[in-house]
């Protein structure tokens, strides 16, 4: 494929993405190499996906050994890896039951449909309202962009489904004013990711739990980004000590192989009886084998214990960079999901720093126009953190001058 170039992308792809100007061809741990053999430190992990870095031996082993056995059955048959993974996830969380799909949007689609149907079965047509938060992101299907709290993702796609409202994030009074006995569900990210890496306040999430209990509404935590070890706990809800009725997970769940899941209680699961929902690929043996290897590797003794310290190492590095350049007004987040918000004079310019960092050999992300986002491998070696930050510092020096 040596005749493939980045320029060809624009000739043959729908223009909904604007990928960086290199084409990566190989990865190992927290390093990526492009077509020209240039090496990069990966602080992005795709988008918070490659939680064990690239080509982790345990995942390669799971993928290749299952790949030689059985890839696909659809849900006309079950399979061993799916049951083993569901067992693992229910053992490790509040959940009693699991529904598998292939992405974060699909996991949220399932959660929202479950919430509506659960309320409908229990209370009838009137209890169907869904309350979400401003700046939230829940995926790109029509239902999930409608529930998401960012108008730009809905523009031109109307009419969108009804019965959905949005209130400011981390504002319990606003939620209290909106919620009623007509509310079927409240959906929040415990840490808003795409919206700018904003952690929910503990009292806020506790308050949501109480409000949902009062109005018999389901509390849905979208942990597509915050889950699978990112905060140092397997799921962020465990860090907060606030338990949802439904939790959605994807991104890092497959460590780079597509899989999503909705986790819930026995009581809620009953509302999705035979034939009510489904997915051709959901729960396929290949994805479930890889995901099982991800969860087993991450939950092995000691692995998640390192997340907090690695996150702190990045924050300390950013603080040092900031002493020199006064570029960040705030560095926030949890564990290895970190957002650095640019000071006023650089607002809107996050992408510029991303491009400059790539030129220096460091891959990072933005979260909106004002925030640099870090979501590296959860086992990134300290030496790679230091080297990546040194490259970022060089890039910043070039941009800021
Ligand atoms: C990425 C993301 C999604 C969407 O996941 P896809 O796999 O892209 O469909 C949903 N919710 C949150 C919080 C996300 O970060």
109 lines ligand 1 (CB under 6 A): no
Contact 190, 205 (CB under 8 A): yes
Is 137 marked active-site?
A: yes
Interval between CA 247 and ligand 1 midpoint (Å): 13
CATH number, domain of 308, equals 3.90.1150.10
Atom of ligand 1 nearest to the CA of 250: 7
Read off φ and ψ for residue 270, nearest 5 degrees: -55, -25
Cα separation, 257 vs 68, in Å, equals 16
Read off φ and ψ for residue 219, nearest 5 degrees: -100, 115
Binding residues for N(2)-acetyl-L-ornithine: 140, 279
Based on the domain organization, do 47 and 65 belong to the same domain? no
Of the residues 251, 257, 310, 374, only one is catalytic, namely 251
The helix or strand, by DSSP H or E, that contains position 297, with its residue range, turns out to be helix 285-298
Based on the domain organization, do 128 and 240 belong to the same domain? yes
Cα separation, 93 vs 117, in Å, equals 23
Within a domain: residue 251?
yes
Q: What confidence score (pLDDT) does residue 269 get?
A: 98
Based on the domain organization, do 225 and 369 belong to the same domain? no
103 lines ligand 1 (CB under 6 A): yes
**Top mutation candidate among 248, 250, 334, 375 for ligand 1, by most atoms within 8 Å of CB:** 250
Based on the domain organization, do 243 and 310 belong to the same domain? no
CATH number, domain of 80, equals 3.40.640.10
Is 222 marked active-site?
A: yes
Domain that holds residue 160: 58-298
Of the residues 43, 137, 221, 328, only one is catalytic, namely 137
Q: What confidence score (pLDDT) does residue 401 get?
A: 83
Based on the domain organization, do 244 and 370 belong to the same domain? no
Q: What confidence score (pLDDT) does residue 265 get?
A: 98
193 lines ligand 1 (CB under 6 A): yes
Classified as helix, coil or strand, 24 is: strand
Q: What confidence score (pLDDT) does residue 2 get?
A: 74
Chunked in runs of 10, what are the mean pLDDT values of the chain (401 residues)? 91 95 97 98 98 98 98 96 98 98 98 98 95 98 98 96 98 98 98 97 98 98 98 98 98 98 98 97 98 98 96 98 97 98 97 97 97 98 98 97 83
Within a domain: residue 1?
no
Output the residue whose Cα is nearest ligand 1's atom 5.
104
Q: What confidence score (pLDDT) does residue 218 get?
A: 98
Contact 368, 198 (CB under 8 A): no
Atom of ligand 1 nearest to the CA of 223: 13
Cα separation, 232 vs 311, in Å, equals 9
Within a domain: residue 11?
yes
Last residue of a domain, one of 252, 273, 298: 298
Nearest to 294 by CA among 23, 61, 47, 20: 61
Q: What confidence score (pLDDT) does residue 1 get?
A: 77
Number of domains in the chain: 2
Cα atoms in the 13 Å half-sphere on the side-chain side of 353: 29
């Amino acid at each position: 494929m040596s005749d493939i170039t980045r320029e060809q992308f624009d000739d043959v792809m729908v223009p909904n993405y604007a990928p960086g100007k290199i084409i990566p061809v190989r990865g190992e741990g927290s390093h990526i190499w492009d077509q020209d053999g240039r090496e990069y430190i990966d602080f992005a992990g795709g988008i918070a996906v490659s939680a064990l870095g690239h080509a982790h031996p345990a995942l390669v082993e799971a993928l290749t050994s299952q790949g030689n056995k059985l890839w696909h059955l659809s849900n006309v048959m079950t399979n061993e890896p799916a049951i083993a993974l569901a067992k693992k996830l229910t053992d490790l969380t509040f959940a009693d039951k699991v529904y598998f799909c292939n992405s974060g949007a699909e996991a949220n689609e399932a959660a929202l449909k479950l919430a509506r149907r659960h309320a409908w079965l229990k209370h009838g047509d009137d209890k169907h309202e869904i309350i979400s938060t401003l700046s939230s992101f829940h995926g790109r299907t029509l239902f999930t962009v409608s529930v998401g709290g960012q108008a730009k993702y809905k523009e031109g796609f109307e009419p969108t489904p009804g019965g959905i409202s949005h209130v400011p994030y981390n504002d319990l009074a606003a939620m209290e004013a909106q919620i009623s006995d007509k509310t079927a569900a409240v959906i929040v990210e415990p840490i808003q990711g795409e919206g700018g890496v904003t952690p929910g306040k503990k009292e806020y999430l506790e308050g949501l739990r109480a409000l949902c209990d009062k109005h018999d509404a389901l509390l849905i935590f979208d942990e597509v980004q915050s889950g699978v070890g990112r905060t140092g706990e397997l799921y962020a809800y465990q860090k907060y000590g606030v338990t949802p009725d439904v939790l959605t997970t994807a991104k890092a769940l497959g460590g780079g192989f597509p899989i999503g899941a909705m986790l819930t209680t026995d009581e809620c699961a009953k509302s999705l009886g035979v034939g009510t929902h489904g997915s051709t690929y959901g729960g396929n043996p290949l994805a479930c084998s890889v995901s099982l290897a991800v969860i087993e590797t991450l939950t092995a003794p000691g692995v998640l214990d390192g997340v907090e310290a690695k996150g702190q190492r990045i924050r300390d590095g950013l603080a040092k960079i900031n002493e020199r350049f006064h570029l960040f007004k705030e560095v926030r987040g949890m564990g290895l999901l970190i957002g650095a918000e640019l000071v006023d004079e650089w607002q809107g310019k996050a992408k510029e720093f991303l491009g400059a960092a790539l030129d220096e050999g460091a891959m990072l992300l933005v979260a909106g126009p004002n925030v640099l986002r870090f979501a590296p491998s959860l086992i990134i070696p300290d030496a790679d953190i230091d080297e990546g930050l040194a490259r970022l510092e060089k890039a910043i020096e070039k941009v800021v001058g």
